[in-house]
Amino acid sequence: MNLSISDEITMKLVHYLITKENYQPIVVTGLENEIWLENTDKPFSVIRINNNYIHNNEQLEYDKFKAKAVIKEIKKKTLSINIDMLSILLDVGENVNLDKAEDKHITTCSISSIKELRNNKTINEIFPAMKEDKLEDQDPIEFFLNVTKDINESTTKKNRLYEKIFSKKLPIITYVLMAINILIFLLNTAGIIGNGLFYMSGEYFKQGQFWRVITYAFFHGDIIHLLCNMYSLYIIGSQIEQVYGKVKYIVLYFLSAIVAGLVSGLLNTNGSIGASGAIFGLCGALLYFGYHYRLYLGNALKTQLIPVIILNLFIGFAIPGIDNFGHIGGLIGGLFASLIVGVEGYTETKDRVNGFIVTTILIGFLLYMLLFR
């Protein structure tokens, strides 16, 4: 089995980028002899490997035009403002001026041999460990088989992760939270317990009634209030429980409720009850999750979640009596809590530690403002 130089370079690049740098293939229709890879956590969010022959500057300009068109579509799908791309050309004519391919967000380099790959300044600066990948020193057949094996193993591992995250799960925690809310509403309606001791009030909180920052989230004013919140909790909570898991879901829910309660106590003089602050926090957690998986969920974020959040905030400002301070506080709390629990497959321990620090600072600031100002 004989491999051409471009095939060997392509396999080496793809092997390294997928197995060592966690890039993922992007399906781009209508383009031949090109491989597109994506990892939004890297300096180059997109890497393109182009095996097509570029024989003059006019063709290079057209190639740049095509690349920018694809990048534009990826930006729409991933809700990205800017994407920096590394375009690697493997078959370039001698008279082609690569400077014409440069763009503010596109870096272009030409590689025609393994030696050039090892010595390319741009690639070495971004991926210094690529020099240690010695696969091409093997027999061509062994090289091909090992590359294929490693890529398949990496892909299988990622597929298991995606299956674990996105597979349908019974939303037990969501059902429990809904049951607690409904039970408390029935007890309240029957006169067994009242919300006077449990609604969130900045004034009473200052007097030492700290439980209110949690208990308010389980009381509702009337049946319409309860039904709207429970429907929202079922829809949003089920999604959170599926993608984050049960333990993280509990952390997200209660931290969101706490931050929402503190913001409401600080800014809302009328008091507050209801689970909507915590539910807005879950929306914030979905935004955070969707940011990391936006290559898959970008359209859903753009057409479903973000418009729903904006619409509900608008309704909160337009209709008197709705505690929009709590909603905004919950949304912020959910985003910060997401930093603590992290997103599986993306978040590292240091990110969770940073999330814990900034969330502690946020809650400490709100407590200070509420208790001592």
Give the DSSP per-residue string, 74-109: HHHHHT-S---EEEEES-B-TT--GGGG-BTTEEEE
Q: Which helix (H) or strand (E) holds 365?
A: helix 349-372
- The pLDDT assigned to 125 comes to 83
Q: Quick one: which of 286, 289, 284, 226 has its CA closest to 260?
A: 284
Which residues partner with 14 through β-bridges? none
Structure tokens that stand for 218 in this block: 């389980």
Residues 6 or more apart in contact with residue 116 via CB below 8 angstroms: 110
Total residues belonging to the chain: 373
Where the chain has pLDDT below 70, the residues are 1-3, 79, 101, 131-147, 295-304, 318-319
The Cα–Cα gap between 240 and 246 comes to: 9
Structure tokens that stand for 85 in this block: 């791309």
- The pLDDT assigned to 173 comes to 96
pLDDT per residue over 259-293, tens digit each? Answer: 999 999 999 888 899 999 999 999 999 888 888 77
- The pLDDT assigned to 330 comes to 94
- The pLDDT assigned to 56 comes to 87
- The pLDDT assigned to 138 comes to 56
Measured CA distances, 150 to 126, 249, 345 (Å): 22, 34, 18
- The pLDDT assigned to 303 comes to 61
Q: Please tell me the pTM assigned to this model.
A: 0.78
- 331 burial type by CB count under 10 A (0-12 exposed, 13-18 middle, 19+ buried): buried
pLDDT per residue over 349-366, tens digit each? Answer: 888 999 999 999 999 999
Helix (H, G, I), strand (E, B) or coil at 25: strand
